[in-house]
Chain A
Amino acid sequence: MKKIWNGITKENAIFVLLLGLCPALAVTTTFEKSYVMGLCVLVVLLGSNFIISLIKKIVPDLVKIPVFILIIGTFVTAIEIVLKNELPGLYDVLSIYLPLITVNCIIFGRALEVASKESVKNSILDAIGTGLGFTMALMIIGLVRELFGNNSITILSNDGLAKIFGQNLVIENVLPAFTPINIMVKPAGAFLALALLLAFINFMKSRRKKNVSN
């Protein structure tokens, strides 16, 4: 339990380690895309950590990196095929960022640091923690960007998950009488949103430290 909690808070992939930023910035223009991307990463991470921790003893050091990348790539390809057949709308929207999960630093980092060293159980727990932390970070960024950039929250959109759940769920005009700041859903807004969130976290941390020392 402690391991999972650590992955979400103290060792959060995005907000603390700053790894795996490409999808965090690229697909977070709506809330729905953010959590779908987060869940994809969670599934890949779980699968790759499990397999790698199983075979860690029989892989020679020399070919470690190519072998790990191929294992991760296999899971990514599987997800790609599933999404392409089940949710073609989302598949098109996520475009190159889906295959790019293969080279996501957070998955690779976890494979090298945890899965190739620790037991199967620990690797799975670590994958769940890190994956959940990643998903939550993406959800927060996506929420901030969509709320301020478009004044809406998309939970189930028509070309996305609405196909599975049977109805769409988009909350519009969340903040009454608020003019959306267009730049937040543009590429520049992604950098800005992450910068402000990081600064906010730093600010809260230093305040808490001050309180403790007083």
Chain B
Amino acid sequence: MSLINIFIVGFLTENIVLTKFLGLCSFLGTSNKRKNSFFMGTSVVFVTVISSIFSYLIYKYILVPFDATYLRTLMFILIIACLVKLVELFIKKVNSTLYENLGIYLPLITTNCAVLGTVLVGINSNYNLIEILVYSFASSLGYLVVIYTLSTIRERLDNGAIPKSFKDYPIALIVATIMAILFSRFG
């Protein structure tokens, strides 16, 4: 499969939020504001790409030779947790204003299913290092775009005339339904 193909699959046709339902908890639970979801999305892109590379290297050169692939879930989550902590410390040291903006979202990324999900899909699809790099970037970019778009629409909907029973979560899910139908057309 060519790299462009992998990019399009990760970004559009198999969008991580709309076809695999990952990263929804963070969207519905915490980030219903546009600014929040943008910061959350960019930090997810960052963490996903780096942790995919590390996970791939550890999977290929440690777990597979020692026949311990059943440990992959534990290993990957450990990598992600450590990386998030490192990124947090690094940003704190380098840029304190950025840290203030991102700070509260960083711990949440560890338990964001989009990160672990992307890593697992990448490993399951037997991609090589370059392909996994492209896939994880595309898929997390897909997350950022969808989460940002949905939160923009949600901000508008807050002031709209919506039936009382559909206020808040139901209407957000209806919007997601329509977007999922649109995205399934790309395939």
Contact = CB atoms under 8 A, between A and B. Distances in A.
Contacts of B74: 70, 73-74, 77
B33 interface: no
A96 B77 contact: no
A199 interface: yes
Contacts of A76: 73
Contacts of A103: 77, 110-113, 116
Given A18-B169, A191-B177, A195-B174, A100 B81 contact: no
Interface string B121-135: 100100000000000
Interface stretch (A131-139, A157-165, A168-176, A181-189): A181-189
Interface in B43-96: 70-74, 77-78, 81-82
Given A77-B71, A100-B120, A19 B29 contact: yes
B165 A19 contact: no
A20 B112 CA distance: 11
B116 A195 contact: no
Nearest to B85: A66
Contacts of B3: none
Interface string A61-103: 0000110011001101100110000000000000110011011
A202 B112 CA distance: 27
Interface of A is mostly: helix
B177 A202 contact: no
A54 interface: no
A103 B112 CA distance: 7
Interface in B161-175: 163-167, 169-171, 173-174
B78 to A, nearest CB: 7
Contacts of A203: 165
B116 A99 contact: yes
B169 A198 contact: yes
A188 B184 contact: yes
Contact of A102 (B77, B176, B177): B77
A105 interface: yes
A191 B29 contact: no
Nearest to B115: A103
Interface in A1-47: 18-22, 25-26
Nearest to B107: A65
A116 B82 CA distance: 22
B8 interface: no
A206 B181 contact: no
Contacts of B166: 195, 199, 202
B173 A198 contact: yes
B181 A73 contact: no
A196 B116 CA distance: 29
Interface of A: 18-22, 25-26, 65-66, 69-70, 73-74, 76-77, 80-81, 95-96, 99-100, 102-105, 108, 183, 186-192, 194-196, 198-200, 202-203, 206
